Protein backbone atom coordinates (compact mmCIF):
# COMPACT_ATOMS: atom_id res chain seq x y z
CA UNK A 1 0.00 0.00 0.00
CA UNK A 2 1.15 3.56 -0.60
CA UNK A 3 2.42 5.16 2.56
CA UNK A 4 0.35 8.29 2.97
CA UNK A 5 -0.31 10.55 5.92
CA UNK A 6 -3.47 12.08 7.27
CA UNK A 7 -3.42 15.04 9.63
CA UNK A 8 -4.63 15.69 13.15
CA UNK A 9 -7.16 18.11 11.66
CA UNK A 10 -8.65 15.28 9.59
CA UNK A 11 -8.69 12.98 12.62
CA UNK A 12 -10.53 15.60 14.68
CA UNK A 13 -13.04 16.34 11.91
CA UNK A 14 -13.94 12.69 11.41
CA UNK A 15 -14.16 11.98 15.15
CA UNK A 16 -16.37 15.00 15.80
CA UNK A 17 -18.58 14.06 12.85
CA UNK A 18 -19.04 10.55 14.25
CA UNK A 19 -19.75 11.87 17.75
CA UNK A 20 -22.07 14.58 16.51
CA UNK A 21 -20.43 17.48 18.33
CA UNK A 22 -17.13 19.32 18.67
CA UNK A 23 -14.94 20.03 21.69
CA UNK A 24 -12.47 22.85 22.23
CA UNK A 25 -8.81 21.84 22.40
CA UNK A 26 -8.62 23.18 25.95
CA UNK A 27 -11.58 21.19 27.28
CA UNK A 28 -11.42 18.13 29.50
CA UNK A 29 -13.49 16.26 26.94
CA UNK A 30 -10.91 16.90 24.24
CA UNK A 31 -8.18 15.60 26.55
CA UNK A 32 -10.13 12.37 26.97
CA UNK A 33 -10.56 12.04 23.22
CA UNK A 34 -6.85 12.65 22.81
CA UNK A 35 -6.12 9.75 25.15
CA UNK A 36 -8.49 7.54 23.15
CA UNK A 37 -6.74 8.45 19.89
CA UNK A 38 -3.37 7.43 21.27
CA UNK A 39 -4.84 4.24 22.72
CA UNK A 40 -6.51 3.28 19.43
CA UNK A 41 -3.28 3.97 17.53
CA UNK A 42 -1.53 1.47 19.78
CA UNK A 43 -4.29 -1.07 19.21
CA UNK A 44 -3.98 -0.71 15.45
CA UNK A 45 -0.20 -0.91 15.63
CA UNK A 46 -0.33 -4.12 17.68
CA UNK A 47 -2.84 -5.73 15.32
CA UNK A 48 -0.04 -6.71 12.93
CA UNK A 49 3.74 -7.05 12.91
CA UNK A 50 3.76 -6.32 9.20
CA UNK A 51 2.56 -2.75 8.76
CA UNK A 52 4.59 -1.57 5.78
CA UNK A 53 5.34 1.73 7.52
CA UNK A 54 6.95 0.02 10.50
CA UNK A 55 8.56 -3.00 8.83
CA UNK A 56 12.36 -2.79 8.48
CA UNK A 57 14.06 -5.48 6.41
CA UNK A 58 17.69 -6.55 6.63
CA UNK A 59 18.97 -3.75 8.89
CA UNK A 60 22.65 -4.32 9.69
CA UNK A 61 23.19 -4.57 13.45
CA UNK A 62 26.33 -5.05 15.51
CA UNK A 63 26.40 -7.97 17.95
CA UNK A 64 27.33 -7.09 21.53
CA UNK A 65 28.32 -9.29 24.47
CA UNK A 66 29.12 -12.15 22.08
CA UNK A 67 25.52 -13.04 21.19
CA UNK A 68 23.25 -10.03 21.91
CA UNK A 69 21.43 -7.95 19.30
CA UNK A 70 20.31 -4.80 21.18
CA UNK A 71 17.04 -3.00 20.47
CA UNK A 72 18.82 0.31 19.92
CA UNK A 73 21.75 1.25 17.72
CA UNK A 74 22.95 4.63 16.55
CA UNK A 75 21.65 5.44 13.10
CA UNK A 76 18.91 2.80 13.17
CA UNK A 77 15.31 2.64 14.35
CA UNK A 78 14.48 1.20 17.75
CA UNK A 79 13.28 -2.40 17.54
CA UNK A 80 9.87 -3.24 18.95
CA UNK A 81 9.46 -6.79 17.60
CA UNK A 82 12.22 -9.01 16.24
CA UNK A 83 11.02 -11.05 13.27
CA UNK A 84 14.13 -12.59 11.71
CA UNK A 85 17.90 -12.43 12.21
CA UNK A 86 20.13 -13.39 9.30
CA UNK A 87 23.86 -13.87 8.80
CA UNK A 88 23.65 -12.21 5.37
CA UNK A 89 21.58 -9.39 3.95
CA UNK A 90 18.33 -11.22 3.02
CA UNK A 91 17.72 -8.82 0.16
CA UNK A 92 21.03 -9.82 -1.44
CA UNK A 93 21.77 -13.42 -0.41
CA UNK A 94 19.42 -16.15 0.71
CA UNK A 95 19.99 -18.34 3.75
CA UNK A 96 21.76 -18.11 7.07
CA UNK A 97 18.95 -17.61 9.58
CA UNK A 98 19.86 -17.47 13.28
CA UNK A 99 17.78 -18.89 16.09
CA UNK A 100 17.14 -16.41 18.88
CA UNK A 101 15.11 -15.58 21.98
CA UNK A 102 14.03 -12.12 23.14
CA UNK A 103 14.27 -10.46 26.53
CA UNK A 104 14.34 -6.89 27.86
CA UNK A 105 17.88 -6.36 26.57
CA UNK A 106 17.05 -7.42 23.02
CA UNK A 107 17.55 -10.64 21.09
CA UNK A 108 19.92 -13.35 22.25
CA UNK A 109 21.27 -15.60 19.51
CA UNK A 110 20.92 -19.21 20.66
CA UNK A 111 22.38 -22.45 19.40
CA UNK A 112 25.27 -22.54 21.86
CA UNK A 113 27.37 -25.70 21.58
CA UNK A 114 30.28 -27.26 23.39
CA UNK A 115 31.51 -26.15 26.80
CA UNK A 116 29.77 -23.15 28.36
CA UNK A 117 32.84 -20.96 27.91
CA UNK A 118 33.80 -22.22 24.45
CA UNK A 119 32.04 -19.39 22.54
CA UNK A 120 31.05 -21.89 19.86
CA UNK A 121 27.68 -21.37 18.16
CA UNK A 122 25.92 -23.15 15.34
CA UNK A 123 26.67 -21.82 11.88
CA UNK A 124 23.23 -21.13 10.38
CA UNK A 125 24.39 -21.74 6.81
CA UNK A 126 25.93 -25.18 7.16
CA UNK A 127 26.89 -27.84 9.62
CA UNK A 128 29.63 -26.60 11.87
CA UNK A 129 30.28 -23.79 14.30
CA UNK A 130 31.42 -20.19 14.43
CA UNK A 131 33.06 -18.20 17.22
CA UNK A 132 31.46 -15.01 18.49
CA UNK A 133 33.75 -11.97 18.94
CA UNK A 134 35.28 -11.36 22.35
CA UNK A 135 35.84 -7.59 22.05
CA UNK A 136 34.52 -4.52 20.28
CA UNK A 137 37.68 -4.54 18.17
CA UNK A 138 36.42 -7.70 16.51
CA UNK A 139 32.80 -6.76 15.89
CA UNK A 140 30.43 -9.10 14.13
CA UNK A 141 27.24 -8.00 12.43
CA UNK A 142 23.93 -9.58 11.59
CA UNK A 143 20.95 -8.45 9.51
CA UNK A 144 17.66 -7.99 11.35
CA UNK A 145 14.12 -7.83 10.03
CA UNK A 146 11.93 -6.19 12.61
CA UNK A 147 8.97 -4.00 13.46
CA UNK A 148 10.12 -0.60 14.64
CA UNK A 149 8.51 1.26 17.52
CA UNK A 150 5.29 3.24 17.14
CA UNK A 151 5.78 6.96 16.52
CA UNK A 152 2.21 8.16 17.14
CA UNK A 153 1.88 10.18 20.34
CA UNK A 154 -0.61 13.00 19.96
CA UNK A 155 -0.20 15.83 22.46
CA UNK A 156 -2.90 18.21 23.65
CA UNK A 157 -1.34 21.29 22.07
CA UNK A 158 -0.08 19.80 18.84
CA UNK A 159 -0.63 21.53 15.51
CA UNK A 160 -3.52 20.41 13.35
CA UNK A 161 -0.94 19.71 10.63
CA UNK A 162 0.59 16.93 12.77
CA UNK A 163 0.77 13.80 10.62
CA UNK A 164 -1.13 10.61 11.42
CA UNK A 165 -0.58 7.32 9.54
CA UNK A 166 -3.31 7.25 6.92
CA UNK A 167 -3.84 3.53 7.47
CA UNK A 168 -4.58 4.17 11.17
CA UNK A 169 -6.60 7.39 11.04
CA UNK A 170 -10.11 6.06 10.22
CA UNK A 171 -9.82 3.37 12.90
CA UNK A 172 -8.55 5.88 15.46
CA UNK A 173 -11.53 8.16 14.79
CA UNK A 174 -14.12 5.38 14.83
CA UNK A 175 -12.73 3.67 17.92
CA UNK A 176 -12.48 6.94 19.85
CA UNK A 177 -16.04 7.90 18.88
CA UNK A 178 -17.36 4.44 19.71
CA UNK A 179 -15.73 4.40 23.14
CA UNK A 180 -16.72 8.01 23.81
CA UNK A 181 -20.40 7.41 23.08
CA UNK A 182 -20.52 4.50 25.47
CA UNK A 183 -18.72 6.36 28.23
CA UNK A 184 -20.86 9.50 28.17
CA UNK A 185 -24.17 7.78 27.43
CA UNK A 186 -23.85 4.65 29.52
CA UNK A 187 -27.57 4.41 30.27
CA UNK A 188 -28.73 4.74 26.69
CA UNK A 189 -30.17 1.86 24.72
CA UNK A 190 -27.83 0.08 22.34
CA UNK A 191 -30.21 1.08 19.57
CA UNK A 192 -29.27 4.72 20.13
CA UNK A 193 -25.67 4.12 19.15
CA UNK A 194 -24.81 4.62 15.50
CA UNK A 195 -21.47 2.85 15.84
CA UNK A 196 -21.10 -0.85 16.50
CA UNK A 197 -18.00 -2.77 17.49
CA UNK A 198 -18.34 -4.82 14.30
CA UNK A 199 -18.16 -1.65 12.23
CA UNK A 200 -15.11 -0.43 14.14
CA UNK A 201 -13.30 -3.72 13.62
CA UNK A 202 -14.17 -3.76 9.93
CA UNK A 203 -12.41 -0.43 9.46
CA UNK A 204 -9.19 -1.96 10.78
CA UNK A 205 -9.72 -5.23 8.96
CA UNK A 206 -9.88 -3.35 5.65
CA UNK A 207 -6.36 -2.06 6.25
CA UNK A 208 -5.07 -5.44 7.46
CA UNK A 209 -6.44 -7.01 4.28
CA UNK A 210 -4.09 -4.81 2.25
CA UNK A 211 -1.14 -6.38 4.08
CA UNK A 212 -2.47 -9.84 3.21
CA UNK A 213 -3.10 -8.89 -0.42
CA UNK A 214 0.52 -7.83 -0.84
CA UNK A 215 1.75 -11.08 0.74
CA UNK A 216 4.04 -9.10 3.05
CA UNK A 217 3.72 -11.44 6.01
CA UNK A 218 4.53 -14.54 3.94
CA UNK A 219 7.53 -13.20 2.07
CA UNK A 220 10.88 -14.93 2.53
CA UNK A 221 12.51 -11.95 4.22
CA UNK A 222 9.85 -11.92 6.92
CA UNK A 223 8.87 -15.55 7.43
CA UNK A 224 10.50 -18.88 6.67
CA UNK A 225 7.82 -20.26 4.37
CA UNK A 226 9.97 -21.82 1.64
CA UNK A 227 10.68 -25.22 0.14
CA UNK A 228 13.03 -26.84 -2.38
CA UNK A 229 10.82 -25.74 -5.27
CA UNK A 230 10.69 -22.07 -4.40
CA UNK A 231 14.07 -20.42 -3.99
CA UNK A 232 13.25 -16.93 -5.19
CA UNK A 233 13.63 -13.99 -2.83
CA UNK A 234 10.30 -12.19 -2.68
pLDDT tens per residue across span 183-210: 776 555 555 455 678 889 899 999 999 8
Per-position b or e across 172-211, b if 16+ CB within 10 A of its CB: bbbbbbbbbbeeeeeeeeeeeeebeeeebeebbeebbeeb
State the average pLDDT over residues 39-67. 93
pTM, full prediction: 0.80
List, as one string, the DSSP characters of 5-51: EEEHHHHHHHHHHHHTS---TTSHHHHHHHHHHHHHHHHHHHT-S--
Asked if 167 and 11 touch (Cβ cutoff 8 Å), the reply is no
Residue 110: predicted pLDDT = 80
> Could you tell me what percent of the chain has a pLDDT over 70?
73
Q: How many CB atoms lie within 10 A of CB 110?
A: 12
**Least confident span in 2-16, 39-53, 79-93, 186-200:** 186-200
Residue 191: predicted pLDDT = 54
User: For 107-158, what is each residue's pLDDT tens digit?
Assistant: 988 864 443 444 545 566 555 555 554 444 445 889 999 999 999 999 998 9
Residue 2: predicted pLDDT = 55
Amino acid sequence: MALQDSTLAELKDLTFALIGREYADTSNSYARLNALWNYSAKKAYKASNYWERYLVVGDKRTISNKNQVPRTQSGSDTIDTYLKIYKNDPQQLRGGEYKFVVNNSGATITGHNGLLQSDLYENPEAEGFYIQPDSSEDDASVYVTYKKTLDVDIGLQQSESTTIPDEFMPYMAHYAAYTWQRSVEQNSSENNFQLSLALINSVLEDELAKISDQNIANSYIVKSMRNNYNQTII
